[in-house]
Structure 1
Amino acid sequence: MIRYLFNRMLLSLKQRYHYDVQYQQDILTADLGAFLKFMGFQAMSSHSGNLPAGPLYATRLRAIIRDDCGPCTQLVVNMALEARLDPDMVRAIIHRDLERLPEEIALVVNFTDLVLAHDPEADDLREKIQARWGQRGLIAIGFAIGSCRVYPALKYTLGYGKACSSVIVTTTSVVPIN
């Protein structure tokens, strides 16, 4: 019965975001305990702290682009649009077009990319992040960076990371810039 309920939840996710949930269904079928742990991880990945939607999705997009080649990025794009981010801003985040982004979004895009590259220049930007959103905001960014990387790793491990594609922002096809 519990597997049935979880599968219904996954099918709802699939329908809402047009996202292939087969890898999650496979986990559910093979190992309920592993699936329950995966669901616990979902709580971490949905944490937003005190970050507004713009900086939160800028972080999530830049992090997912680093490890994904389409489907997971499309999911985050769809979620960002659902959170009412401007499509032009989403495209600018994907293209890393800092001149077209508000200052706080460009800050988060730069910081996320530097963190992902293990670049010590992230230290200077970390102070700006903390000054703007405090330690709670920094933690939310850290959770977003870390959690966005898990999904592609899990999909590739299970054999579902082979479908590379561009992403669609409203009606425009966009190729992510890593």
Structure 2
Amino acid sequence: MMNTEQTYIQSANEQLTAFEEHYQYDVSYLQEILAASPEAMQAFDQFKAMGAFRRKLSPEAYFVANIATMQTEDCGSCLQLVVKMALEAGVSSEIVRGALNKGAGLSTELELLHLFSVGVATNNLVDGLQEQISELFGKEALVEIALCIAASRVYPSLKRALGYAGKSCSLVQIEVQERN
């Protein structure tokens, strides 16, 4: 009979394998966390809810912020994952391409959100832009944007700290495939 920790480890491994297969994303760094410290993985599981929290933001706004932030981290595999997730969430390929192209071709609001996200992630925020984003999207959405930006930076940081940057954080050609 398995104890609670063994049950958690088995379940977490199954979830990681399913995630890896679904998104074609290397989860080795997460498997390493789980193997080294199931308690750390449980803490990380709780963190993931923060990064995915979205009530006011549209999927388009959430993923523009996520893509813009992820681009600043220079992690190609993480960026490709976010692109796949955006398309899966119903974000149009045009918006995804705009987000990948420094906001070009996006609506004014989404272009400003892209600029804001990059500014926050690089500590180079244009004066007055935070207030403008708050007015455009609302204070609650601004909080969700802040959570998205902060959470987006965690994954590449974990990979780098655990020695996976050279293996999986290199820039890649990002594919934006039309949804069927």
TM-score normalised to structure 1 length: 0.89
2:3 matched residue in structure 1: none
Deviation at 1:34, TM superposition (A): 0.6
- The one-letter amino acid paired with 1:111 is F
Moved more, 162-171 or 27-36: 162-171
Q: Deviations over 1:80-106 (max 9, x none)?
A: 0011111122111111143x1111210
Deviation at 1:133, TM superposition (A): 2.3
1:101 matched residue in structure 2: 106
1:16 matched residue in structure 2: 22
Q: Deviations over 1:30-61 (max 9, x none)?
A: 10111111111101111113000111100000
Identity, % of aligned pairs? 33
- Among candidates 43, 61, 73, match of residue 67 of structure 1: 73
2:64 matched residue in structure 1: 58
CA contact 2:103–2:114 (8 Å) conserved in 1: no
- The one-letter amino acid paired with 1:109 is H
- Among candidates 97, 110, 123, match of residue 91 of structure 1: 97
Matches of 2:34 and 2:125 in 1, distance apart? 40
- The one-letter amino acid paired with 1:113 is V
Matches within 5 A, 1:89-168: 89-98=95-104, 100-121=105-126, 123-162=127-166, 163=168, 164=170, 165-168=172-175
CA contact 2:116–2:125 (8 Å) conserved in 1: no
Matches of 2:13 and 2:74 in 1, distance apart? 24
1:33 matched residue in structure 2: 39
Name segments (4+ residues, structure 1) moved above 3 Å: none
Matches of 2:114 and 2:48 in 1, distance apart? 23
Matches of 1:37 and 1:69 in 2, distance apart? 23
- Among candidates 33, 51, 63, match of residue 45 of structure 1: 51
Matches of 1:39 and 1:120 in 2, distance apart? 30
Matches of 1:46 and 1:167 in 2, distance apart? 22
Q: Number of residues paired by the alignment?
A: 169
The unaligned stretches of length 5 or more in structure 1 are 172-178
The unaligned stretches of length 5 or more in structure 2 are 1-6
Deviation at 1:120, TM superposition (A): 4.5
TM-score normalised to structure 2 length: 0.88
Q: Does 1:77 align with 2:83?
A: yes
CA contact 2:20–2:27 (8 Å) conserved in 1: yes
Moved more, 125-134 or 50-59: 125-134
